[in-house]
Amino acid sequence: MTKSSAGKTMLNPFGVTMVEDYEHLYEEFGIQPFKPLLTQISNPSAAMRRGVIFGHRDFKRVLDAMKNREEFAVMSGIKPTGEFHLGTLMTAREVIYFQQQGGTAFYCIADIEAYEDNRISFERSQKYAVGNVADLLALGFDPKKGYIYQQSKEQRVKDLAIAFARGVTLATMKAIYGERHMGLYISALIQAGDILLPQLEDFGGPKPTVVPVGVDQDPHLRLTRDLAFKFRRRYNFIPPSSTYHKLIKALDGSPKMSKRDPMSYFTLEEKPGVISKKISNAFTGGKPTAEEQRRLGADPDVCPLYDLYLFHFFERDEDVAKLYTNECKGGKILCGEDKERLTKIVLDFLKEHQRKRRQYIDKAREILEVE
Ligand code: SF4
């Protein structure tokens, strides 16, 4: 858990994350702004172009590998505590983007963390994992150019965690994560093992590796970069790089979706009626009356539905810009009308996604070696 000096920003991978102002993260947390790199990327993703990916650590190293067509890896994953939601969708799309740019992709099913952080048994998380992997494949992950694995079954990750345990003290873990039970400290070391797995000899040895994550995961990156440095003689690790995306607002307007409140988000497996209801009940940045909204415009910056368009559901950047400036701020659309439009786009996307996902369930079972 990392807190800003004023205490208004808190990055906590095991709990509540608050970001008052993403710009502050540059000065206070040493995260680098992503925007200056944008012109050097020949084929930036929508999230990069739209500023959803706002920061990085050491991404230049990966960018150089991309430009020079050299070997690099992308590594991220999911905690299998339920169905894919909009936050995990974001990370999956980023992994797939880097895979399509030539990276070898590693996708971890973080079942040890699901157990330690959320008390989900391995048996239960395995059921979720099958669906999660089917989602990943349906979104375009190519298993021939990647490695999908469960933490609990990947001995090399556990071996790395055991080795890394000699490199940290309890005081360091408390400074990074706050006072926690030992299981969470162990799962943080396991995550360090995940992040550095692509650099083991079994996978071709040291290479630039990018970890695309939500900014709440930055404490894991700081720990892992430190461990990569400490264990450089033994493993020759290159410190991992990261990109950070903003956190998508919850449907009630709060800063981050929470699995503890099912009305604050939706999953990719939800029924159309439930999706419609959740979008219809969502908070917006609208004005109390239609007349005021037409006259004064609404506020997309506080609106979770604007985030949905920005992060996921408008394919064209022009449509995002038009919604922000003209339709929303300019009072050209009312929130009710916008909710109807968004519901249709989301339902069309999910219908197609769920169709593809069903086709990948057997493949997901095969990859995870589930009967
Ligand atoms: S018009 Fe759309 S984007 Fe703007 S506040 Fe209303 S729902 Fe949100």
How many Å from the N-terminal Cα to the C-terminal Cα in the chain? 38
0.85 exceeded by pTM? yes
Q: Which of 46, 40, 52, 34 is nearest to 317 (CA)?
A: 46
Question: Residue 49 C-alpha to ligand 1 middle, in angstroms?
Answer: 21
Task: Please tell me the predicted confidence (pLDDT) of residue 256.
Answer: 67
Percent of the residues in the chain that have a pLDDT greater than 70, as a whole number: 93
Instruction: Please choose from 252, 283, 284 the residue to mutate so as to test ligand 1's pocket, defined by most ligand atoms within 8 A of CB.
Output: 284
Q: Which of 53, 50, 66 is nearest to 22 (CA)?
A: 53
Confidence of residue 17 (pLDDT cuts 50, 70, 90): low
Task: Please tell me the predicted confidence (pLDDT) of residue 263.
Answer: 77
Residue type for position 72: F
Structure confidence by residue, pLDDT tens digits, 132-186: 999 999 999 999 999 999 999 999 999 999 999 999 999 999 999 989 999 999 9
Q: Which residue has the tokens 């190519």?
A: 142
The dihedral formed by the CA atoms of 310, 312, 314 and 317, expressed in degrees to the nearest 10:
50
Structure confidence by residue, pLDDT tens digits, 30-48: 799 999 999 999 999 999 9
Question: Residue 299 C-alpha to ligand 1 middle, in angstroms?
Answer: 7
- What atom in ligand 1 is closest to the CA of residue 335? 6
Pocket of ligand 1 (CB under 6 A): 284-286, 298, 300, 303, 305-306, 328, 333, 335, 338
d(CA 337, CA 359) in angstroms, rounded, equals 34
